Homo-oligomer: A and B are copies of this chain.
Amino acid sequence: MKHTIPIVENILSANDRLAAENHTRLDADGVFAINLMASPGAGSTSLILATLEALAGRLRLGVIEGDLAGSIDADKAAAAGIPAVQINTGGECHLDAVMVRGALDSLPLGRIDLLIIENVGNLVCPAAFQLGSHLNLLIASIPEGDDKPYKYPGMYRGVQALVINKTDLLPYVPFNMDYFRRGVEALNPGLATFPLSCRTGEGLPAFADWLVGQVQHGRKKNPR
């Protein structure tokens, strides 16, 4: 067992160096990048498409889609007119900075304001790997249940914003919002949180306005 620990540390530290390179490159091109994490089926791709509509042209989007297999999500984004690259990880349960570096080569970065990197659907592994993004965003969803912060604390601790999707299902499933929010607050006090429904559009304008603010704030810090 002793041998495995330094190996993991070396991999993470190599990944962190590449993530820092990705970050510098994104800043140079004026791209604000979000690492979007969620359970399978929480609505990552739906959020991207709903956000595109809610932004109404205020930001130019690009996406990197991470999945074990297939190109369903990249196809959906491309159909909506968003420059999209699909990464297939094979068996890997998360994206890493090398995969993202390769995807950046295929995107027209000079024509993108906000790059959304949709990680593999997983509440564990993606939390451990930096990609070079400016912000980690987690999507929870109402039908997943209210106990997820208590069960996946590492993920909830490591993000700078939280979307609570599928609020339209609140009448049909048991979900104690107070219990959920207490769990989040204990792990990540004051976390920016956006309850919304990609299906009905409820809550999307506030989220889109916040995104615009984040990108503008990022530009002030790193003017081209």
Which A residues have a C-beta under 8 Å from some C-beta of B?
3-4, 7, 39-41, 67-70, 72, 91-93, 120-125, 128, 141, 143-145, 147-148, 150-154, 166, 168-169, 172-173, 199
By Cβ-Cβ distance, the 10 closest A-B pairs, closest first, are A41-B144, A93-B124, A143-B143, A39-B40, A41-B145, A70-B150, A40-B123, A67-B151, A39-B39, A93-B125
Please report the C-alpha to C-alpha distance between residue A121 and residue B151 in the assembled complex, in whole angstroms.
9
Please report the C-alpha to C-alpha distance between residue A173 and residue B171 in the assembled complex, in whole angstroms.
13
Q: Which residue of B has the minimal Cβ distance to A152?
A: B68
Chain copies in the assembled complex: 2
Q: Tell me which residues across on chain B come within 8 A of A123, comparing CB atoms.
A: 40, 121-122
Candidate in A3, A92, A150, A151 with the most chain B CB atoms within 10 angstroms: A151
Closest CB in chain B relative to A14 CB, distance in Å: 11
Q: List 20 A-B contacts (CB under 8 A).
A: A3-B7, A7-B7, A39-B39, A39-B40, A39-B121, A40-B144, A41-B144, A67-B151, A68-B153, A68-B154, A69-B150, A69-B152, A69-B153, A91-B124, A93-B124, A121-B123, A168-B172, A169-B173, A172-B172, A173-B199
Q: Tell me which residues across on chain B come within 8 A of A168, comparing CB atoms.
A: 172
Would A68 and B172 count as touching, CB distance under 8 A?
A: no
